[in-house]
């Protein structure tokens, strides 16, 4: 890990070469709003375009997404120039048109002075609920969980995550990583009476031997045991009682 010094908003800060500017900023207490980036997922980001900043490098200035712009020597970043704020506001207005039901997007847009977009909203049969099509869910499923039960489908405004042919996915283990990763809470996951419902399938939950509370889908236990060789007995107790 090569440490270098870059400038963010006029301040000299230390950052790791090639790490995303967003991470470098956050590690130095500078906040940049972002939705589609997850620190644990190298492949994530670049989709929502909320984290735009101005990057000046080699005498050239341009608007870039901080979540995947690599830190390199000589870089100067400005997170809130007039132009950055204007374009970010424009992006948020469009996101609000797409997912007017999303509290997260509404809250963020409101911070930038947009309570009601000027353009038509995706409503009625075009309603995407809260999904901003950022694909964090499918990336987690593929890169972290390793099952690829869901993928992004269609293109343009129709783009959305889903199971193959919208049928029950046999690959899904019900772990819910997609729902946890989703920045806008768009994925429905319900646990009730020892059964988890997600992506249209029901998963039987294994209960903790101490508190008796169902806490993990049996299919997820099987998957972890199979892929990591971990002792099955480990899952007898929930994290609170291990």
Partner 1 sequence: MKAITSFEQLEGYRERVKAAQKKDLPSVLICFGTGCQANGAVAVAEAFREEIERKGLKVDVNVGFKTTGCHGYCENGPLVVLRPKDVLYLKVKPKDVPEIVEKSLVGSEIIEKLVYKDVNTGESVAQYHEIPFYKYQKRIALRNIGNVDPRSIDDYLLCDGYKGLARALTMRPEDIVSEVEKSGLRGRGGGGFPTGTKWRSCRAVDSDVRYVMCNGDEGDPGAFMDRSIMEGDPHSVIEGMIIGGYAVGAKQGYIYVRDEYPLAVKNLQAALADARAMGFLGDKILGSDFSFDIRISRGGGAFVCGESSALMRSLEGKVGEPRAKYIRSVEKGLYDKPSVLNNVETWNNIPVIIRNGADWYASFGTRGSKGTKVFSLVGKVNNTGLVEVPMGISIRELVEKIGGGVLNGKKFKAVQTGGPSGGCIPDSEADLPVDFDSLTQAGSMMGSGGIIVMDENTCMVDVAKYFIGFLVEESCGKCTPCRDGLPRMHRILSDITEGRGREEDIETLTELCDVLTCAALCGLGSSAANPVLSTVRYFRDEYEAHIRDGKCPAGVCKSLITYSIDAAACTGCTLCAKKCPQQCITGERKGAHVIDASACIKCGVCKDVCNFDAVRVE
49 binds partner 1 (CB under 8 A): yes
64 binds partner 1 (CB under 8 A): yes
d(CA 162, CA 153): 7
Per-residue b/e over 113-142, b at no fewer than 16 CB within 10 Å? ebeebeeeeeeeeeebebbbbbbbbbbbbb
> Of these, 154, 170, 209, 227, which contacts partner 1 (CB under 8 A)?
154
Q: Which is nearer to partner 1, 161 or 174 (CB)?
A: 161
Radius of gyration of the chain (CA): 21
> Of these, 3, 12, 107, 119, which contacts partner 1 (CB under 8 A)?
119
Q: Which is nearer to partner 1, 154 or 209 (CB)?
A: 154
In DSSP notation, 47-71 reads SS-TTEEEEEETTEEEEEETTTPBP
Residues that contact partner 1, how many (by CB under 8 A) = 37
> Of these, 19, 61, 90, 237, which contacts partner 1 (CB under 8 A)?
90
Distances (CA, A) of 129 to 27, 32, 62, 80: 33, 25, 33, 30
46 binds partner 1 (CB under 8 A): yes
Q: Which is nearer to partner 1, 110 or 126 (CB)?
A: 126
Residues paired with residue 115 on neighbouring β-strands, in sequence order: none
Residues within the interface to partner 1 (CB under 8 A)? 45-50, 52, 63-65, 68-70, 83, 86-88, 90-91, 94-95, 97-98, 118-120, 132-133, 135, 151-152, 154-159
């Amino acid at each position: 890990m090569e440490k270098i010094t870059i400038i963010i908003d006029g301040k000299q800060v230390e950052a790791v070469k090639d790490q995303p500017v967003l991470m470098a900023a956050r590690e130095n207490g500078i906040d940049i709003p972002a939705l589609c980036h997850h620190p644990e997922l190298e492949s994530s980001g670049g989709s929502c375009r909320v984290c735009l900043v101005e990057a000046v490098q080699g005498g050239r200035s341009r608007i870039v997404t901080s979540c995947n712009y690599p830190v390199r020597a000589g870089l100067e970043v400005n997170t809130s120039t007039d132009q950055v704020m204007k374009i970010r506001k424009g992006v948020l207005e469009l996101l609000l048109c797409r997912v007017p039901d999303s509290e997260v997007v509404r809250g963020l847009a409101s911070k930038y002075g947009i309570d009601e977009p000027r353009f038509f909203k995706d409503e009625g049969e075009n309603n995407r609920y809260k999904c901003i099509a950022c694909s964090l869910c499918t990336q987690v499923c593929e890169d972290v969980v390793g099952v690829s039960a869901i993928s992004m489908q269609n293109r343009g405004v129709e783009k959305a995550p889903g199971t193959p042919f919208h049928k029950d996915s046999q690959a899904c283990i019900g772990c819910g990583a997609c729902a946890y990763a989703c920045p806008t809470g768009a994925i429905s996951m319900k646990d009730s009476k020892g059964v988890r419902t997600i992506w249209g399938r029901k998963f039987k939950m294994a209960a903790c031997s101490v508190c008796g509370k169902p806490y993990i889908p049996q299919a997820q236990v099987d998957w972890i045991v199979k892929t990591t060789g971990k002792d099955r007995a480990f899952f007898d107790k929930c994290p609170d009682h291990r």
